[in-house]
């Protein structure tokens, strides 16, 4: 099971990123543990200043703006 964290305050881009990840995981038939992190101290501990940030299995893979659908599919299928 993949562990994916969406780092952000809950803005529209953060919510959309979370939805994109859920949809991509469902379509790929991959089980993911999806966590939304809103605590600023935790977010900054990853070095993220611009949200949303995405962490997959402990590795920061995206910062700022909406990820492309291809990026999201790659995260859940790796």
pLDDT at position 10 is 86
User: CB 41: neighbour CB atoms within 10 A?
Assistant: 6
Determine if the peptide bond prior to 52 is cis (ω within 30°): yes
pLDDT in tens, 21-60: 999 999 999 999 999 999 999 999 999 999 999 999 999 9
What is the CATH code for 2-77? 3.40.30.10
Residue 55 CA to residue 64 CA, distance in Å, equals 12
Answer whether residue 61 shows pLDDT above 90. yes
- Token pair 């790659």 in the structure block, residue: 74
Global pTM? Answer: 0.93
Answer whether residue 20 shows pLDDT above 90. yes
Known catalytic residues? 11, 14
What is the mean predicted confidence (pLDDT) over 7-12?
Answer: 92
Q: Where are the domains of the chain?
A: 2-77
pLDDT at position 41 is 95
């Amino acid at each position: 099971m993949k562990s994916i964290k969406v780092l952000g305050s809950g803005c529209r881009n953060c919510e959309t990123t979370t939805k994109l990840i859920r949809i991509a995981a469902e379509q790929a038939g991959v089980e993911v543990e999806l966590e939304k992190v809103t605590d600023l101290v935790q977010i900054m501990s990853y070095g993220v200043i611009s949200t949303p940030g995405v962490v997959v299995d402990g590795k920061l893979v995206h910062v700022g703006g909406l990820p492309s659908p291809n990026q999201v599919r790659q995260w859940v299928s790796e």
